[in-house]
Amino acid sequence: MPQCTCPHTKADSLPTDPSQMVSVEINGKRNGHTNGTTNGANGHSTPRDQQRRNPYAPRASDFLSNISNFSIIESTLREGEQFANAFFDTKTKIAIAKALDAFGVEYIELTSPAASEQSRADCEAICKLGLKAKILTHIRCHMDDARIAVETGVDGVDVVIGTSSFLREFSHGKDMTYITKTAIEVINFVKSKGIEVRFSSEDSFRSDLVDLLSIYQTVDKIGVNRVGIADTVGCANPRQVYDLVRTLRGVVGCDIEIHLHNDTGMAIANAYTALEAGATHIDTSVLGIGERVGITPLGGLVACLYAANPEYVKAKYNLPMLREIENLVAEAVEVNIPFMNPITGYCAFTHKAGIHAKAILNNPSTYEILKPEDFGLTRYVSIGHRLTGWNAVKSRVEQLGLKLTDDEIKDATAKIKELADVRTQSMDDVDSLLRVYHSGIQSGELEVGQKEALDRLLKAHRESQLGDNESASAPVPVVAAA
Ligand SMILES: CC(=O)SCCNC(=O)CCNC(=O)[C@H](O)C(C)(C)COP(=O)(O)OP(=O)(O)OC[C@H]1O[C@@H](n2cnc3c(N)ncnc32)[C@H](O)[C@@H]1OP(=O)(O)O
Ligand SMILES: O=C(O)CCC(=O)C(=O)O
Ligand SMILES: [Mg+2]
Phi, psi for residue 32 in degrees, rounded to 5: 70, -175
Ligand 1 centroid to residue 140 C-alpha, Å: 7
Ligand 2 centroid to residue 202 C-alpha, Å: 6
Amino acid 443 reads S
Give me the helices (H) in 421-450, please.
427-443
User: Poorest-confidence range of 117-126, 229-238, 466-475?
Assistant: 466-475
CB distance 208 to 168 below 8 Å: no
DSSP 473: T
Task: Pick from 112, 122, 172 the residue to mutate for probing ligand 1's pocket: most ligand atoms within 8 Å of its CB.
Answer: 172
Ligand 3 centroid to residue 465 C-alpha, Å: 58
Which protein residues touch ligand 1 with a CB less than 6 Å away? 82, 112, 114-115, 140-142, 160-162, 171-173, 202, 232, 291
User: Poorest-confidence range of 42-56, 140-154, 253-267, 283-297?
Assistant: 42-56
Rounded to whole angstroms, how far apart are CA atoms 413 and 440? 15
Q: Tell which wins on pLDDT, 305 or 47.
A: 305
DSSP 478: P
90-115 average pLDDT score: 98
What's the pLDDT score for residue 46? Answer: 55
What's the pLDDT score for residue 68? Answer: 77
What's the pLDDT score for residue 83? Answer: 98
Residue 16 has pLDDT above 60, yes or no: no
User: Poorest-confidence range of 8-12, 128-132, 170-174, 206-210?
Assistant: 8-12
Instruction: Name the closest ligand to CA 231.
Output: 2
Q: Is 356 in the pocket of ligand 2 (CB under 6 A)?
A: no
Residue 367 has pLDDT above 60, yes or no: yes
Torsion sign across C-alpha atoms 80, 82, 84, 88: positive
459 band by pLDDT with thresholds 50, 70 and 90: very high
Residue 469 has pLDDT above 60, yes or no: no
275's CB contacts (< 8 A; 6+ apart) are: 66, 67, 70, 282, 305
What is the per-residue pLDDT across 195-219, written as a single tens digit (0 to 9) for each?
Answer: 999 999 999 999 999 999 999 999 9
- DSSP for 143-168 reads HHHHHHHHTTT-SEEEEEEE-SHHHH
The verdict on whether 461 is a catalytic residue reads no
What's the pLDDT score for residue 468? Answer: 55
Instruction: Name the closest ligand to CA 204.
Output: 2
167-191 average pLDDT score: 97
Q: In Å, how far from its chain's centre is CA 244?
A: 26
Provide the mean pLDDT of the chain: 89
414's CB contacts (< 8 A; 6+ apart) are: none
What's the pLDDT score for residue 66? Answer: 82
Rounded to whole angstroms, how far apart are CA atoms 357 and 380? 9
Rounded to whole angstroms, how far apart are CA atoms 429 and 432? 5
Counts for the chain of helices (H) and strands (E), in that order: 18, 13
1 band by pLDDT with thresholds 50, 70 and 90: very low
Q: Is 232 in the pocket of ligand 2 (CB under 6 A)?
A: yes
* Ligand 1 atom 48, closest CA: 172
What's the pLDDT score for residue 24? Answer: 67
What's the pLDDT score for residue 67? Answer: 86
* Ligand 2 atom 4, closest CA: 230
Residue 474 has pLDDT above 80, yes or no: no
238-246 average pLDDT score: 98
Rounded to whole angstroms, how far apart are CA atoms 140 and 158? 9
What's the pLDDT score for residue 379? Answer: 95
367's CB contacts (< 8 A; 6+ apart) are: 351, 356, 359, 360
482 band by pLDDT with thresholds 50, 70 and 90: very low
Q: In Å, how far from its chain's centre is CA 447?
A: 48
Three-state DSSP string of 291-356: CCCCECEHHHHHHHHHHHCHHHHHHHCCHHHHHHHHHHHHHHCCCCCCCCCCCCCCCCCEECCHHH
Q: Is 202 in the pocket of ligand 2 (CB under 6 A)?
A: yes
What's the pLDDT score for residue 366? Answer: 96
Residue 62 has pLDDT above 70, yes or no: yes
Task: Pick from 109, 161, 283, 289 the residue to mutate for probing ligand 2's pocket: most ligand atoms within 8 Å of its CB.
Answer: 283
Residue 429 has pLDDT above 90, yes or no: yes
Torsion sign across C-alpha atoms 29, 35, 37, 38: positive
Rounded to whole angstroms, how far apart are CA atoms 266 and 273? 10
Q: Which atom of ligand 2 is nearest to the CA of 290?
A: 7
What's the pLDDT score for residue 478? Answer: 27
Instruction: Name the closest ligand to CA 73.
Output: 2
CA distances from 224 to 190, 215, 367 (A): 10, 11, 45
Q: Which atom of ligand 2 is nearest to the CA of 295?
A: 10
Options 138, 356, 385, 438, the catalytic residue: 356
| Cα within 13 Å of Cα(211), Cβ side | 21
* Ligand 1 atom 18, closest CA: 115
Rounded to whole angstroms, how far apart are CA atoms 131 and 340? 32
Rounded to whole angstroms, how far apart are CA atoms 283 and 228? 10
- Residue 47: which of 361, 357, 366 has the closest Cα? 366
Amino acid 130 reads G
β-sheet bridge partners, residue 93: none
- Residue 203: which of 194, 212, 195 has the closest Cα? 212
CB distance 388 to 420 below 8 Å: yes
What's the pLDDT score for residue 63? Answer: 83
| Cα within 13 Å of Cα(414), Cβ side | 11
CB distance 255 to 282 below 8 Å: no
DSSP 21: S
Rounded to whole angstroms, how far apart are CA atoms 179 and 312? 40
Our CA dihedral for 72, 78, 79, 84, rounded to 10 degrees, sits at 140
DSSP 229: E
* Ligand 1 atom 4, closest CA: 160
Torsion sign across C-alpha atoms 269, 273, 274, 275: positive
Ligand 1 centroid to residue 220 C-alpha, Å: 25
What's the pLDDT score for residue 36? Answer: 41
- Three-class DSSP category at 136: strand
What's the pLDDT score for residue 49? Answer: 53
Q: Which atom of ligand 1 is nearest to the CA of 140?
A: 40
Q: CA angle 61-66-68, nearest 5°? A: 95
DSSP 376: T
What is the per-residue pLDDT across 256-301, written as a single tens digit (0 to 9) for each?
Answer: 999 999 999 999 999 999 999 999 999 999 999 999 999 999 999 9
- The C-alpha R_g of the chain, in whole angstroms, comes to 28
Residue 41 has pLDDT above 60, yes or no: no
What's the pLDDT score for residue 393? Answer: 97
Residue 385 has pLDDT above 80, yes or no: yes
Q: Is 80 in the pocket of ligand 2 (CB under 6 A)?
A: no
Q: In Å, how far from its chain's centre is CA 118?
A: 30
What's the pLDDT score for residue 9? Answer: 27
* ipTM of the prediction: 0.98
What's the pLDDT score for residue 247? Answer: 98
Q: Which atom of ligand 1 is nearest to the CA of 115?
A: 14
Ligand 3 centroid to residue 81 C-alpha, Å: 10
Q: Which atom of ligand 1 is nearest to the CA of 202?
A: 1
Q: CA angle 54-362-369, nearest 5°? A: 45
407-415 average pLDDT score: 98
